[in-house]
Amino acid sequence: MPTDTKERILDSAELLFSSQGIANTSLRSLTEHAQVNLAAVNYHFQSKDALVQAVLFRRVNPINQRRMELLTALGQPSIGQILDAFYRPAVEAVLAGPEGRAVARLIGRLYSEPGDLLAGQVRALMADTFRTFAESIQRALPGVPQATIIWRLHFCIGIMAHTFGAMELIEGMARGRIAYDDPEAILRQMITFASAGLRAEGESTCAAS
Amino acid sequence: MPTDTKERILDSAELLFSSQGIANTSLRSLTEHAQVNLAAVNYHFQSKDALVQAVLFRRVNPINQRRMELLTALGQPSIGQILDAFYRPAVEAVLAGPEGRAVARLIGRLYSEPGDLLAGQVRALMADTFRTFAESIQRALPGVPQATIIWRLHFCIGIMAHTFGAMELIEGMARGRIAYDDPEAILRQMITFASAGLRAEGESTCAAS
DNA sequence: GTCTATAGGGTGATAGAC
DNA sequence: GTCTATCACCCTATAGAC
């Protein structure tokens, strides 16, 4: 339960933006949901765009910081360890509390949200993390061309973004055969798949690791 | 250059929905772009929601039909062949003509667009294709549990959705080191990565295919 | 810091002439 | 089939009282 106005606005914005989309969420419905006055949004944040940015930063910055901590704590990491450092902070943020689903959708839609304004923000938000992890993977896989590393790291991000952004669709299509109730199991599925993908040989035959 | 009103509306809707988002695109800006009268949208389609559905179906149904054709043409397909049948029709739709980017973003955002209305449509649109490909992969990988197959097929979709939905972001972050100018090369990257991921062993060690 | 009130404009949908 | 005109409503942002 949030206490002050600013936090209540952020929490409601996160929930509504992620479930209905940003453009579909009016400041009126937002302030009604947060039980604050309409003008409070424009007082605490300057505009709706700035509010979007604040919602994003609050969740994604700590995740990226944790990713860096985990990665630098490893000396000469394996591919599996690098992926664990990348995925785990995000999966755990999704775990934490009942607002997890909203955070998941927020992260899941981060990369493909339309609009030039947001695209620039996301790029700035992710650039450092992306570069650091790309370099780490390159060191672990010295034989793989740089362009291939870049494509494959984007594929790893795509796996996560889709797992987080299409939860309802995935659950619905699975008809109970898979579920989101065990985050550690999902993490394991993601790492196993992405790990093999990153280490793939060009002609998709199997070689010694 | 489209000739009749209905097609002009669909083309403009595809372009604007995919570049600005659905909620952010007003029927007024749409009809202005299409050079048709505002009332024409409600005459040819009944509502904005129905227009969204029409835009989706026009592009995705032929792709899914082609996927089925390619898959059934293969007898006992390998994982690489199954993935080619799944990815190629979508990648080639992105290739065809200058509207390719709009189609790509449309497909890329399909799975994570907010709103219950759309989610149900997407599920209905993809259910048959998903089930058929899941069964085909299961036959090619008899030792892998069903739940794992389902997760991994979703990961394969995530790879494609992110590659199509985050083009600007990916190009921007790559700073020229990768590009979208060679669709066959992208297809190869996707298939190589996803193929290794699908065939991964639980403990991410390497086994004979 | 938080409120009310309102400015100024955009929205999807439709009725009815041609 | 295509137009104009319009309805009824929602939107963000801000000025100014408390």
| CATH value at residue B13 | 1.10.10.60
pLDDT of residue A3: 65
pLDDT band (50, 70, 90) for residue A32: very high
- On whether both A123 and A148 belong to a single domain, the answer is yes
Residue A209 pLDDT > 50: no
- On whether both B150 and B184 belong to a single domain, the answer is yes
pLDDT of residue A2: 53
Q: Which of A20, A154, A168, A206 to mutate to test the interface with B (most CBs of B within 10 A)?
A: A154
Q: Give yes or no for CB of A44 within 7 Å of strand C.
A: yes
Which positions of chain D lie under 7 Å from any protein Cβ? 1-6, 10-16
Residue A65 pLDDT > 90: yes
Q: Give yes or no for CB of B112 within 7 Å of strand C.
A: no
Give the one of A111, A204, A206 whose C-beta lies nearest to B192's C-beta: A204
Tell if the CB–CB gap between A152 and B189 is shorter than 8 Å.
yes
Nearest Cα residue to A126 out of B101, B176, B174, B164: B174
Which positions of chain C lie under 7 Å from any protein Cβ? 1-6, 10-16
- On whether both A15 and A114 belong to a single domain, the answer is no
Q: Would residue A81 count as lying in a domain?
A: yes
Q: Would residue B207 count as lying in a domain?
A: no
- On whether both A79 and A182 belong to a single domain, the answer is yes
Sign of CA dihedral A131, A133, A139, A144: negative
- Could you give the 3-state DSSP secondary structure of residue B151? helix
Rounded Cα–Cα distance for residues B121 and B98 (Å): 27
B209 → chain A, closest CA residue: A206
Rounded Cα–Cα distance for residues B122 and B125 (Å): 5
Is-contact B121 B51, C-beta < 8 A? no
User: Which segments of chain B have a pLDDT < 50?
Assistant: 203-209
- On whether both B187 and B146 belong to a single domain, the answer is yes
Q: Give yes or no for CB of A27 within 7 Å of strand C.
A: no
Would you mind telling me the total number of residues written for chain B in this entry?
Answer: 209
Number of structural domains (chain B) is 2
Name the least confident of A115-124, A190-199, B131-140, B148-157: A115-124
Task: Tell me which residue range forms the domain holding A34.
Answer: 1-45
Kindly tell me the burial class for residue A22, based on how many C-beta atoms sit within 10 Å of its own C-beta (0-12, 13-18, 19 or more). Answer: buried
- On whether both B35 and B64 belong to a single domain, the answer is no
- On whether both A106 and A143 belong to a single domain, the answer is yes
Q: Give yes or no for CB of A179 within 7 Å of strand C.
A: no
pLDDT of residue A12: 95
B201 → chain A, closest CA residue: A192
Chain segment A161-188, per-residue pLDDT in tens: 999 999 999 999 999 999 999 999 999 9
- On whether both A32 and A124 belong to a single domain, the answer is no
pLDDT of residue B206: 40
Q: Give yes or no for CB of B42 within 7 Å of strand C.
A: yes
Which residues in A lie closer than 8 A to residue B165 (C-beta atoms)? Answer: 111-112
Rounded Cα–Cα distance for residues B124 and B78 (Å): 27
Is-contact A140 A51, C-beta < 8 A? no
Residue A137 pLDDT > 70: yes
What is the mean pLDDT of the segment spanning A58-70? 97
pLDDT of residue B60: 97
Tell if the CB–CB gap between A152 and B193 is shorter than 8 Å.
yes
B145 → chain A, closest CA residue: A177
Using the structure block, give the residue that is written with the tokens 């606005």.
Answer: A9
Question: Which residues contact residue B120 at a Cβ distance below 8 angstroms, ignoring those fewer than 6 apart?
Answer: none
Q: What is the mean pLDDT of chain A?
A: 92
- On whether both B159 and B191 belong to a single domain, the answer is yes
**How large is the C-alpha radius of gyration of chain B?**
19
Report CA dihedral (B69, B73, B77, B79) to the nearest 10 degrees.
-30
pLDDT of residue A84: 98
Record the pTM: 0.94
Chains A, B: CB pairs < 8 Å: 195
Nucleotide nearest residue A43, measured CA to C1': C1
Residue A208 pLDDT > 50: no
